[in-house]
């Protein structure tokens, strides 16, 4: 059940977000050796991908889950507009994640140690930081995050 603030993502949504990313999100992607121009591809390969908007309908981010065995690799990139309405996002994201969790044993990914705003959102969504890792190609510090899902 998607809401007024969360709907299925399109490639056009991904392009719009990629052109207006928060600087911390852009640096997080680039620190893993990726380019923000790959965001439309992330939407396409995700089993579930959504766009979230502000109360006034402005697109403020995209997120998705890519199946990884019995787990899911969860991802999210935001525009500066999300910072003004984090609670609206968290409420919608919690509903969306609860609808997805039965499909996975756990959700995981890496988040830049410097992306403090993402850390706050992830904590509110029930994710836990496991450890600091330094993935190639730049070996910058990232937090490995995980959320255990409801039993399948």
pTM of the model: 0.93
Mean predicted confidence (pLDDT) in 2-24 = 93
Enclosing domain of residue 122: 6-148
Position 1 in a domain: no
Burial of residue 135 (CB within 10 Å: 0-12, 13-18, 19+) is middle
Q: Is residue 60 part of a domain?
A: yes
Residue 86 confidence (pLDDT): 87
**With contact defined as beta carbons under 8 Å apart, do 109 and 73 qualify?**
yes
Please report the beta strands in the chain, taking only residues with DSSP state E, as ranges in sequence order. 6-8, 48-53, 59-68, 71-78, 106-112, 128-133, 142-148
- Proportion of the chain above pLDDT 70, given as a percent: 97
- Mean pLDDT over the full length of the chain: 94
Does residue 61 lie within any of the structural domains?
Answer: yes
Q: Give tens-digit pLDDT for 85-103.
A: 888 888 889 999 999 989 9
Q: How confident is the model at residue 2 (pLDDT cuts 50, 70, 90)?
A: low
Average pLDDT of the residues in 44-56 = 94
Which of 150, 78, 141 lies closest to 113 in space, CA to CA? 141
Token pair recorded at residue 129: 């930081």
How long is the chain? 152
Q: Which residue has the tokens 């899911």?
A: 72
Over the stretch 17-37, which tens digit does the pLDDT of each residue have?
A: 999 999 999 999 999 999 999
Query: Any bridge partners for residue 67, and if so which?
Result: 72
Strands of 71-78's sheet, edge to edge?
6-8, 48-53, 59-68, 71-78, 106-112, 142-148, 128-133
Backbone Cα Rg of the chain: 14
Q: How high is the pLDDT of residue 70? A: 94
Across 46-50, 82-86, 88-92, the highest mean pLDDT is recorded for 46-50
Domain CATH code at residue 43? 3.40.630.30
CA 110, CA 60: separation in Å to the nearest integer? 21
Q: Say if 101 falls within a structural domain.
A: yes
pLDDT tens for each residue of 105-146: 999 999 999 999 999 999 999 999 999 999 999 999 999 999
Q: Is residue 144 domain-resident?
A: yes
Number of domains the chain is built from = 1
Domain membership of residue 135 (yes or no) is yes
């Amino acid at each position: 059940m998607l809401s007024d603030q969360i709907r299925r993502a399109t490639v056009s949504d991904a392009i719009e977000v990629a052109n207006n990313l928060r600087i911390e999100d852009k640096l997080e992607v680039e620190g893993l050796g990726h380019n923000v121009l790959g965001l439309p591809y992330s939407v396409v390969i995700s089993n579930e991908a959504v766009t979230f908007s502000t109360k006034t309908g402005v697109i403020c981010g995209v997120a998705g889950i890519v199946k990884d065995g019995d787990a899911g690799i969860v991802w999210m990139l935001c525009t500066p507009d999300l910072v003004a309405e984090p609670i609206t996002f968290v409420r919608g994201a919690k509903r969306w994640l609860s609808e997805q969790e039965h499909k996975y044993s756990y959700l995981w990914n890496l988040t830049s140690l410097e992306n403090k705003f993402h850390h706050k959102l992830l904590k509110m969504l029930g994710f836990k930081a496991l450890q600091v890792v330094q993935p190639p190609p730049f070996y910058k510090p990232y937090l490995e995050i995980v959320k255990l899902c409801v039993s399948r």
